[in-house]
Amino acid sequence: MSFDILEAMIIASLSGGGILKKYFEEENFSVSRKSVSYDLVTSADRESQEKIISILTGRFPHIPIIGEEGSKEIPHYREAFYVDPLDGTLNFVHKFPFFAVSLGYWKDDEPIAGVVYNPLTKDLFYAQRGDGAFLNGERIRVSATTSVEGSLLVVGFPYQEEGLLKTVEDIKSTMKVTDLRVLGSASLELSYTALGIIDGYWEYALSPWDLAGGVVIAQEAGAVVSAPDGGKFDLFKGDILAATPGIYRELVKAING
Ligand code: IPD
Ligand code: CA
Ligand code: CA
Whether residues 42 and 165 share a domain: the answer is no
Whether residues 15 and 133 share a domain: the answer is yes
pTM, to two decimals:
0.96
pLDDT in tens, 151-202: 999 999 998 899 999 999 999 988 888 889 999 999 999 999 999 999 999 9
Burial (CB count within 10 angstroms: exposed 0-12, middle 13-18, buried 19+), residue 174: buried
What domain range is 245 assigned to? 153-255
Question: So what's the pLDDT on residue 2?
Answer: 57
Whether residues 109 and 32 share a domain: the answer is yes
Question: So what's the pLDDT on residue 193?
Answer: 98
Ligand 1 nearest-atom number relative to CA 90? 15
Question: So what's the pLDDT on residue 1?
Answer: 53
| Rounded-to-integer distance, Cα 250 and Cα 235, Å | 23
Provide φ and ψ at 219, rounded to 5°.
Answer: -60, -45
Whether residues 10 and 131 share a domain: the answer is yes
SS3 248: helix
* 146 part of a folded domain: no
Of 80, 111, 139, the residue at which a domain comes to its end is: 139
Whether residues 243 and 163 share a domain: the answer is yes
Closest CA to 183 of 211, 208, 153: 153
- Could you give the number of structural domains in the chain? 2
Question: So what's the pLDDT on residue 73?
Answer: 83
Whether residues 78 and 113 share a domain: the answer is yes
pLDDT in tens, 1-48: 555 999 999 999 999 999 999 999 999 999 999 888 888 889 999 999
Burial (CB count within 10 angstroms: exposed 0-12, middle 13-18, buried 19+), residue 28: exposed
SS3 106: strand
Question: Cβ contacts of residue 14 below 8 Å, gap of 6+?
Answer: 117, 124
Provide φ and ψ at 115, rounded to 5°.
Answer: -135, 130
Closest CA to 256 of 151, 139, 177: 177
- Centre of ligand 2 from the C-alpha of residue 202, in Å: 14
* More confident: 161 or 203: 203
| Rounded-to-integer distance, Cα 148 and Cα 216, Å | 23
* 193 part of a folded domain: yes
Closest CA to 127 of 214, 16, 17, 256: 214
- Centre of ligand 2 from the C-alpha of residue 90, in Å: 10
Question: So what's the pLDDT on residue 3?
Answer: 55
CATH, residue 27: 3.30.540.10
Q: Candidates 36, 84, 87: which one to mutate for ligand 1, based on the most atoms within 8 Å of Cβ?
A: 87
* 148 part of a folded domain: no
pLDDT in tens, 46-61: 999 999 999 999 999 9
- Centre of ligand 2 from the C-alpha of residue 99, in Å: 9
pLDDT in tens, 91-128: 999 999 999 999 999 999 999 999 999 999 999 999 99
Q: Candidates 31, 103, 210, 215: which one to mutate for ligand 1, based on the most atoms within 8 Å of Cβ?
A: 210
- Centre of ligand 1 from the C-alpha of residue 88, in Å: 5
Whether residues 10 and 128 share a domain: the answer is yes
Going by their DSSP bridges, the two strands 240-243 and 224-226 should be labelled as: antiparallel
